[in-house]
Chains A and B, each alone.
Chain A
Amino acid sequence: MANIPQKVVHQYLRHDKKFPHVWCAGCSNGIVLGSFIRAIASMDVNRDDMIMVSGIGCSSRMPVYIDLNTMHTLHGRAIAYATGVKLHKPHMKVVVITGDGDCTAIGGNHLIHAARRNIDITVILVNNNIYGMTGGQCSPTTPHDAIATTSPYGNIEPDFDICKLAIGAGASFVARTTAFHVFEMQNYFQKAMEHPGFALIEVISACPVIYGRLNKKGGAPQMMKEFRDNSIPLTAVPKLPPEQVEGKIQRGILQEIVRPEYCAAYADLVKRVQESGGEQ
């Protein structure tokens, strides 16, 4: 890790604007925001050329607090707005911050198509397994049998494996980590932003106030401990017997390949068309 002074986050927050923030005590969103800020601080990018786009949900409130170009858009549509920004200004670093419901339920279509195009957008998906902002309804990542306000007798639907979904759709960088592993998270954020192509990082996060309470997970510290004890690095998976792997959160980089990026391909097309004078 780069050696960054302790108060680096303060250089990137909009103190004088809309603080205090909206998040509940014990929420992981602040941890994710902290890791994100430390990642961009260590990257030394010009923040005028950086934009953060979000949809609707708890994690999607993040852009208000960070001093970048920021956009808080419609539920599920952050990636579509980001696509417009990126295509018009390809030199900008475009980061989408989104949640499990925002990105895989209402916005699932935009996720898979952005991954298919391999457009250079970094998606940070904060997965708290529930719709927090609306009060705890079940989402596509709510585990089977878990309790939510719209599945009071237990969720009968199977949940999404977001990383597998992204890889299947063609994302060229996919990683998973938890809110407990802050430095790993920061490292993945940086790698994802430096990666030329569509990148997705799933951050398993804690919603102690709603998900934790409904499912008797204890408070925020207990949920953090669970992330620590109940997750294994991907590199350790082949070495362990299957019974020790089952049910564990597998952290690590699941996909890192280089394939043609959409904005670059479009720039090539423009060059080709202009050189040939528009002959098809």
Chain B
Amino acid sequence: MINFNLFVLPFFLGLIYVVIAIGKSWYRWVRKLPAIDKVRFISGIRSPGQIFGALKEVFLEGLIHRRMWKQNPLLGYMHMSFALGWFLLIVFGNIESRFYSGTHLNAPYYPIFLKFFIHDRLVIFFEVFSVPGIFRFLMDFLLLFVLSGLVLALIKRQKSNWFGMKRTTAFQLTDIVSLGSLWLIFPMRLLAESYTAGYYGSGGGFLTQPLGNLLVWIVPFRDDFVAYGLWWGYSLVLGIFFITLPYSRYMHIPTEILLIFFRHFGIQPGKWYSSFSDVEVQACSRCGVCIDVCQLNEAGIHDSQAVYFIRGVRDKYVPEEISRKCLVCGRCQEACPVGISTDSLRLIKRRELVSGQASDFSYLAPRPGAASRFDEPPRQGEVAYFAGCMSHLTPSIIRAMKGIMEHAGVSFTHLDADKSICCGRPLKLAGKDRQANELIEFNKKLIRLTGAKTLVTSCPICYRVFREEYNIPIRIQHHTQFILDLVKTGKISFEGDYKKVAYHDPCDLGRGSGVYEAPRDLIGHFAISVPVSQEANKALCCGGSLGMFEASQGQRNTMTAGVLNILLQAQPDVLATACPLCKKTLEKQSPVAVKDIAELVYESLPKTVCCSVSGQSHPAKSYEDELISV
């Protein structure tokens, strides 16, 4: 018997088409990689370890949808039932078909339409003690598993708020066709298999046999014409899904697989738009998880969230202001189930926009005969302290840091005591990397002059760029890490009054640099941390972000009010933060005091050794110096 029928053609041709289309895209993306990344790719596919790691992640993310589960269990189950369910149907279907065909090579359509070609009359309904019986049971069970996900998907379309999603993305025409055919695949399979089982009176499992018997009973005429119609329908929806897939959002499925391999081979987003960026853009599933986590919603901005921005990039048209209308806080990147580097993509577009603009920092060049632009070269010291521009607007942080270092007996030099050169990150956030690099060179020279072993900064914005871009052979610490080290080595101790403190994670320190624990450990030494409902990697941006260019002060204030609501839920006595910009932004509206951790530490130092906060004796002088210089 030849196992072929005309109705397999839509499926078979669709399958050939989609395999070629995906293969072509993958090949194009790999070929267009920058040379260095191509080398990484080639050495990656030769390394079994990296391949295994990538396959493991493909399994965990592509089939189980682990990140989605963490984000939202209901959505996680929905995606898992579709992906894992379908995958297992294919795997078990293939094994089952081998059992009947007895050969190693089957036509690709044979397992898919197995129940049409084979009516195993020996298998009786709900038989699980024979090999075919177990397969029959498994296949029905998996079909039910997929269908349960489909029911969830249908509910989600109508009532997305039941899934905890406030907003979701709109569809384009190909998406609707593709989604419609995807949704029809499994009900059609159920109907076709069931009717066939009912028609022959045997061969179905616990789901298909009773349903088939029912169908045969309901349908007034008993004819194999009905069965053919159902199998044709099943094949057609499969074919339509496959043919529309490369042009719809479902292209994200094969693209994400390639993206996972790229990441495991050590390929990272570059400074400019590359093939890797293209893969990231295409791997976006438009799920819209990034919309709900974005704080711009609160400010009434609804056109610039990551998914819309990426849509613009994909369609090769991003309105200029959309690129600049973003806090670059990294919340969307943290929430993205595909792990797309949304911030990097945004900065790439900003770079493209300003590539024609020049800068002139010649005024920073050393004066003739001097080592630096400054009248006096920086003092030598084991620690170089860089307060950062923002800290100059909050001199209490600088005063506290100086007091702490003097108390601990650390010999330090204050790099920007008088005139500060910006660290360069604000320029980078504007896309002006070339210009930022000029500032970086000036600062590096200054840092080198101090001969310090540790560079301490009070500003997370500076901290991030020091770590990521400076490439200096010197220890770089944010002041929370530095003070924690002082505590651990016993150089400072506390007379804590154990106030209730709520800690606000600065974006560039937390998500940007991964420093979550040092500030919390430090607070634990002299105060009681109260929980904040959105903290650590889920922390909110204070609203003052330097990454944002297109928000009005009013919109920023709205976002700040939202953050304060969250921070004040547990009614803390003090709000602590570790960033001068966050402090400056939050204290404009906060009903309770907003203090940098350095200030809290300074206040909690033993009073016998150091002055009390109100009656400053020694550090008061440096504070005045500070005011004069600021």
On whether the two chains bind one another, the answer is: no
A interface residues (Cβ-Cβ under 8 A, vs B): none
